[in-house]
Amino acid sequence: MKRKPSKAGGRGKMRSSAGNPGLQRAVELFHAGRVAEAAPLVDAAVARNPKDPDALRIKALIILRSGLMLEAQKILDRAHKIDPRNPMMPLDQAVIHKLGGRYPEMIDSCREALKRMPGSRRAEAMLAQAYEGGGMTDQAVRFIEETIAKRGLDAEMGETYANVLELSGRREDALVVVDRLLESSATQPPVRRRLLLHRGRILEKLGRFAESMESFEAGHAVFSVVFDPDEWDRRLDSIIEATDPMSLPEELSEAAGSEVPVFIASLPRSGTSLVERIIGVHPAAHGAGETGLIGDVLRAARPTIGTEPYQGIRDAMPDALEAIRGDYLGRQAGLFGHSSRIVNKHLQNWQFLPIIAACFPKSHVIRIDRAPADVGISIFGQNLPYERMPWATRLDWIGRMIRSHRRFSDAMKDRIPNPWLDLNYSDLVTEPEPVIRSLIEFLGLDWDDRCLEPHRSEQGRGGRRYMPTLSIHQVRQPISRGSLDRAEAFGDLMAPLHRGLAGDA
């Protein structure tokens, strides 16, 4: 569909980028979702002029996509100090609020942006996202429909519109919106991919399973990816072979003996968000989401440990390890404050288990056991980052990864000294209380009844805030058995996943 001409500042583009074609192109790529292509152009712009606030802003937003929140905040602060009147400042802050799960603050920032840039499509779209993220579904629908009546439907607003229609139970209407957006030649490939995957999820809920699978496959076909499961397994084998059985040292420094970090070491879509919220609602705990702290700290330590972290940590001198521990704990406190337990559910935690054990041998590790086929179809139907997780784009590769995760984590369980809990997802959602009581006891925390109602964790004064994940709307519902046996309805369409699980893919 053709877009109406936007008002002044309608797209929220940065002012000085017009005189810098490279930066202007980077802005276009970034907002089209082509972040990997935008990054080198932005780096070049910053290298040419380290005080260009617009280049700094986009650099910070790119870094935010990688989960480096502290570093991104510092760069944004520099940009805002250089150009405090930049009308994009409130939108920058809205992005930070979104990543921190602070939706009321995100709403305020978006409203301020609209005061500075009336009619800005980006500000309007982000305000709609803030309403959606904050659970204000009815308000989101009203705002979006009023906005669309003025300027028509486009992908920026349309994606959120489809989301909130589905959340409102209007699945057929959501499907109409998605199909209209897919018909438009203006819909960019990253958006097209997200829409096709969303379309598949809607069709699944409507009971149209063959069409659902076709839509999932079409979404993953938008971009070509390469993944070699055999090479991946060889890499894991080398880590296993190089990891000798560890025992808990008799003497530990305060940092090494810290039990504050808690690591969920499971694949995506296995129940990690639910478990994080169950723990995070406890008054002595905090849920940190998919924080990339381990990767941040390892990158910062490269001058000491090199670029191969497993070997570097294995060979590191005690003072180097202590510095890494201190860096992790310091960053953790800076981002999430001080709690007795802080839960990190990053999707690579299971791969980092040897490093976690070397740095924090008393930290608690939780592995969630969910039916492989249910995990597989849930992964396949989601917009996971295909650049970092190419294996998530084919059912047979997903099956191989589930198999690899189990084999690797089994090997680590036998080698590391950390307290370890295997939590059965089916038991958790079928009989929550005994499983949750065992979980809280495992973490060494006193019992608190609020852990039985994680869906209420954001409500009321003092409500908790969580980094947004793909499961945000699911975990706001009471614990239920609704997601059990999800894959059965797809029948023989799941055959590629089962081949992968058997190691035949």
* DSSP, residue by residue, 386-433: TTT-GGGGSHHHHHHHHHHHHHHHHHHHTT--S-EEEEEHHHHHHSHH
475: in domain: yes
- Whether 186 and 265 share a structural domain: no
Instruction: Tell me how far apart the alpha carbons of residues 421 and 428 are, in angstroms, rounded to a whole number.
Output: 13
Instruction: Tell me how far apart the alpha carbons of residues 406 and 400 are, in angstroms, rounded to a whole number.
Output: 10
pLDDT at 348: 94
- Whether 115 and 263 share a structural domain: no
**Chain segment 427-479, per-residue pLDDT in tens:** 999 999 999 999 999 999 999 999 998 877 555 444 455 555 555 555 556 77
Q: What is the domain range of residue 161?
A: 16-220
Residues 479, 274 contacting (CB under 8 angstroms)? yes
8: in domain: no
4: in domain: no
∠ CA 264-253-410, rounded to 5°: 30
Q: Of the candidates 429, 432, 425, 431, which has an alpha carbon nearest to the alpha carbon of residue 372? A: 425
* More confident of the two residues 276 and 335: 276
- Give the number of C-alpha atoms closer than 13 A to the C-alpha of residue 179, restricted to the C-beta side: 8
Instruction: Tell me how far apart the alpha carbons of residues 131 and 103 are, in angstroms, rounded to a whole number.
Output: 7
Report which secondary-structure segment, H or E, holds 286: strand 285-287
- Whether 282 and 399 share a structural domain: yes
377: in domain: yes
- Report the share of the chain in percent with pLDDT over 70: 91
Torsion of CA 80, 84, 86, 92, to 10 degrees: 40
* More confident of the two residues 260 and 468: 260
Instruction: Tell me how far apart the alpha carbons of residues 41 and 53 are, in angstroms, rounded to a whole number.
Output: 15
Question: Among the three residues 220, 242, 266, which one is the final residue of a domain in this structure?
Answer: 220
Collapsed DSSP state (helix, strand, coil) of residue 285: strand
- Whether 213 and 270 share a structural domain: no
**Chain segment 171-192, per-residue pLDDT in tens:** 999 999 999 999 999 999 999 9
pLDDT at 290: 86
Q: Helices marked H in 152-207 — which ranges?
A: 155-167, 171-183, 189-205
29: in domain: yes
> Which amino acid is it at 352?
F
Cα Rg, the chain, nearest whole Å: 23
Q: Which residue has the tokens 């496959």?
A: 217
Residues 345, 273 contacting (CB under 8 angstroms)? yes
Res 64 pLDDT > 70 = yes
- Chain Cα centroid distance, residue 361: 26
Residues 332, 288 contacting (CB under 8 angstroms)? yes
Work out how many domains the chain is built from and give that number: 2
Instruction: Tell me how far apart the alpha carbons of residues 368 and 271 are, in angstroms, rounded to a whole number.
Output: 7
- Give the number of C-alpha atoms closer than 13 A to the C-alpha of residue 121, restricted to the C-beta side: 19
CATH of the domain at 215: 1.25.40.10
6: in domain: no
Residues 395, 500 contacting (CB under 8 angstroms)? yes
Q: Of the candidates 436, 301, 288, 442, which has an alpha carbon nearest to the alpha carbon of residue 365? A: 442
Print burial letters for 258-286: b (CB count within 10 Å at least 16), e (below 16): bebbbbbbbbbbbbbbbbbbbbbbbeebb
Question: Among the three residues 186, 220, 254, which one is the final residue of a domain in this structure?
Answer: 220
176: in domain: yes
- Whether 242 and 187 share a structural domain: no
Residues 351, 476 contacting (CB under 8 angstroms)? no
- Whether 372 and 474 share a structural domain: yes
Q: Which of 93-102, 198-207, 305-314, 482-491 has the lowest mean pLDDT?
A: 93-102
> Whole-model pTM?
0.84
Instruction: Tell me how far apart the alpha carbons of residues 487 and 466 are, in angstroms, rounded to a whole number.
Output: 28
CATH of the domain at 319: 3.40.50.300
Instruction: Tell me how far apart the alpha carbons of residues 285 and 260 are, in angstroms, rounded to a whole number.
Output: 9
Q: Which residue has the tokens 């002012």?
A: 15
Mean pLDDT of the chain: 89
- Whether 185 and 43 share a structural domain: yes
Burial classification of residue 14, based on how many CB atoms lie within 10 Å of its CB (0-12 exposed, 13-18 middle, 19 or more buried): buried
Average pLDDT, integer, range 190-199: 96
pLDDT at 2: 41
157: in domain: yes
- Within a 10 A sphere around the Cβ of 40, how many other Cβ atoms? 11
pLDDT at 359: 97
* More confident of the two residues 171 and 9: 171
CA dist 35 → 27, 63, 189, 226, 389 (Å)? 9, 10, 13, 19, 15
- Whether 66 and 209 share a structural domain: yes
Token pair for 301: 């330590």
∠ CA 502-504-505, rounded to 5°: 115
Question: Among the three residues 191, 220, 249, which one is the final residue of a domain in this structure?
Answer: 220
Q: Which of 82-86, 158-162, 296-300 has the lowest mean pLDDT?
A: 82-86
- Whether 69 and 154 share a structural domain: yes
Res 11 pLDDT > 60 = no
∠ CA 260-264-269, rounded to 5°: 150
- Whether 157 and 30 share a structural domain: yes
- Whether 344 and 457 share a structural domain: yes
Q: Which of 173-177, 300-304, 344-348, 452-456 has the lowest mean pLDDT?
A: 452-456
Q: Which residue has the tokens 């999430």?
A: 336
- Whether 344 and 412 share a structural domain: yes
CA dist 34 → 27, 29, 181, 189, 468 (Å)? 10, 5, 19, 9, 21
> Which amino acid is it at 128?
A
